Structure 1
């Protein structure tokens, strides 16, 4: 479900609306509808703050996993508060736009210029500046997990 690939430079208007490219809207349609669920990325690193966009059916699966976690852990409560507490459903308007709520815009430091990044089953919405900063980062301190060491790309 979901075949969100590629990156798209898009603009957000002063009201917080952005036009989703037609090809991406088609993928939402193939994934089971036109409703989008937007939520905060739960990354600990401030530099990775972005908005996650899920097809509604995919979000239902993710939400069930998050709801099923035992909330006696601070990390679990943080994840639940960020992802469930910021989640909002959005419909495409006649012009193919969705509205990003102010709380999510502030969370991800979104301004006019944005990047929409495909991640398979979901999309990430980044500030263009933060996205470019992230791309330019070296990642030198990152440990490569064994699952990635086995990849042949």
Structure 2
């Protein structure tokens, strides 16, 4: 299970250190793509395949399905860790997440998320103020 929050920097070449705690779960190579809320999602190969199967079950005739799958797949890239535990994040993905220097890599159960520091701090502050309200809504999902 991927969990925790780690602060790292993206260097001038677009390389980011993947926290050592996540490397084994992510595997030799994993998929990074555009995420929601202005971050990037990183999936271990096994989890990407599960997501892929779910996406294939969605009705292709629906405009939203086509838009979502295009959004997810068109920017997806296979990442391999180098000897220093870094991945290279393509410019398109860095632009999407506004990754310039300082960022956060967080574990979210079956995936990692990569956030610019500015976006993560803003998101966390907003979520913290409404956490109890969100928790109340989760009751509807059996939480």
Which 5+ residue runs of structure 2 have no aligned equivalent?
Answer: none
Are the aligned partners of 2:19 and 2:105 in contact in 1 as well (CA < 8 Å)? Answer: no
Aligned pairs for 1:95-110 (under 5 A) are 95-110=84-99
2:68 to 67, 72, 79: 79
Instruction: Please list the CA deviations of residues 128-147 of structure 1 after superposition, one character each: whole Å capped at 9, or x if unmatched.
Output: 11010011114499682412
Aligned residues: 138
The structure that is helix-richer by fraction is 2
TM-score by length of 2: 0.88
What's the counterpart of residue 18 of structure 1? 16
| 1:119 is aligned to 2:119 | no
TM-score by length of 1: 0.83
1:144 is paired with a residue whose SS is helix
Equivalent-residue separation in structure 2 for 1:139 and 1:22 (angstroms) = 31
The structure that is strand-richer by fraction is 2
Are the aligned partners of 2:14 and 2:88 in contact in 1 as well (CA < 8 Å)? Answer: yes
Instruction: Please list the CA deviations of residues 101-123 of structure 1 after superposition, one character each: whole Å capped at 9, or x if unmatched.
Output: 11111111111011111111101
* C-alpha RMSD of the superposition: 1.8
Instruction: Please list the CA deviations of residues 22-77 of structure 1 after superposition, one character each: whole Å capped at 9, or x if unmatched.
Output: 1211222xxxx311100111x3xxxx111000111110111121133112222211
What's the counterpart of residue 54 of structure 1? 43
What's the counterpart of residue 33 of structure 2? 39
